[in-house]
Amino acid sequence: MRFGIIGSGSWATALGKILTDNKNKINWWIRNEETIKHLLARHNNPQYLSSVFFDTTLLVPTSNVSEVIEKSDCIIIAVPSAFAVETLGNLDRNIFKDKKIVSAIKGILPDENLLLNDYLKQYFNVEIENYFAVLGPCHAEEVASEKLSYLTFSGIDEKTATNIASHFKTEYLNTVVNHDIYGVQFAAILKNIYALGAGIAHGLEYGDNFLSVLIANSADEMAGFLRKAGIKNIEVGSIDHKPVTKNGSKVTTNYAASVYLGDLLVTCYSLYSRNRTFGTMIGKGYSVKTAKLEMSMVAEGYNASKCMKTINENIKADMPIAETVYKILWENMHPSEGFAKIEKTLV
């Protein structure tokens, strides 16, 4: 299988490391020509995860995104959600024909208010059978240092999802496979919003006791949205501890502890979490504009909070935490006022 990666940020770089550690050759779209020159000469990405050194004989970097797609069987899209339309929008409408697409985007496309699979279907006629999503809980920084991590590969074509996942199985990376495309993507979007909330609480100097209650309620709020959206198999406590294993990946129909709850927890608590960091700045009194300027990476939860508010107008789930985060970020509600309201909803 010939792999292509679109994107050169920390997550794209981490995925490139995993694939090349398994001796997979990758076609890699990198926007900046100077970054390409540095990578080939110095064997690392100078801007993200610079501690990771690549065997450059396994890399074919280019600033031509069409070239990457045409030369690859499986294309991993790992640009921030806010830049996905800009990156893909001018491509030939048949360019993804007979390709497998793996979304490494942990957000919703704000220009279209769509998940990536719905965007690709609408504009490129990519069928859901050829679309897969890769989710955590997994921070790029820990992949770089080879700390044991887990990735979940989701796709309704379980056989292909398992095959793709097998290329990512290493001594420091375990893989899980499921078939819930919409559930895992919405969970990834929501956990970023709740991590913003956790960061705001930290910035407001709430303690660990409050934070634990906030995150527990966030998990319940997320589950409530997913159930109303028609997602199944998200009940904590009903995991199959003896799942089938294929090609080194665990295949299970119940996965709440990792791709749902696990990803929520690590994004809310980890110091690597850009959403938590962004939220902390807001809680400390930074304006949204200033916080965005301070961040060297994109906090996906910022745009996601607005997108999910719009989406939930149809789903009509009870989401006071996510709605308050939206009001703080987009309607200038003061963080302390917002959390005074949140306090009254927690149980």
Q: pLDDT (tens digit, 9 = 90+) per residue, 64-104? A: 999 999 999 999 999 999 999 999 999 999 999 999 999 99
Res. 239: pLDDT tops 60: no
pLDDT at 261: 87
Q: Write the CB contacts of 163 (distance below 8 Å, at least 6 apart in sequence).
A: 1, 247
3-state SS assignment for residue 173: strand
When pLDDT is averaged across residues 204-220 and rounded to a whole number, the result is 96
Percent of the chain residues topping a pLDDT of 90: 82
- What is the C-alpha separation between 195 and 201, in angstroms, rounded? 10
Question: Which domains does the chain carry?
Answer: 3-182 (3.40.50.720), 190-232+254-345 (1.10.1040.10)
Mean of the per-residue pLDDT values of the chain? 92
pLDDT at 178: 87
pLDDT at 250: 60
Model confidence band, residue 260 (pLDDT cutoffs 50, 70, 90): confident
3-state SS assignment for residue 133: strand
DSSP per residue, 258-296: IIIHHHHHHHHH-TT-HHHHHHHHHHTT--HHHHHHH-S
How many Cα neighbours within 13 Å face the side chain of 8? 24
- What is the C-alpha separation between 323 and 316, in angstroms, rounded? 12
- What is the C-alpha separation between 6 and 8, in angstroms, rounded? 7
pLDDT at 231: 81
- What is the C-alpha separation between 24 and 135, in angstroms, rounded? 20
Res. 254: pLDDT tops 60: no
- Per-residue pLDDT of 298-342, as tens digits, reads 789 999 999 999 999 999 999 999 999 999 999 999 999 999 999
pLDDT at 252: 58
Specify the pTM.
Answer: 0.91
CB 91 within 8 A of CB 83: no
CA distances from 254 to 56, 158, 260 (A): 39, 14, 10
Q: Which range is least confidently modeled, 125-134, 204-213, 225-234?
A: 225-234
- Per-residue pLDDT of 161-187, as tens digits, reads 999 999 999 999 999 898 889 999 999
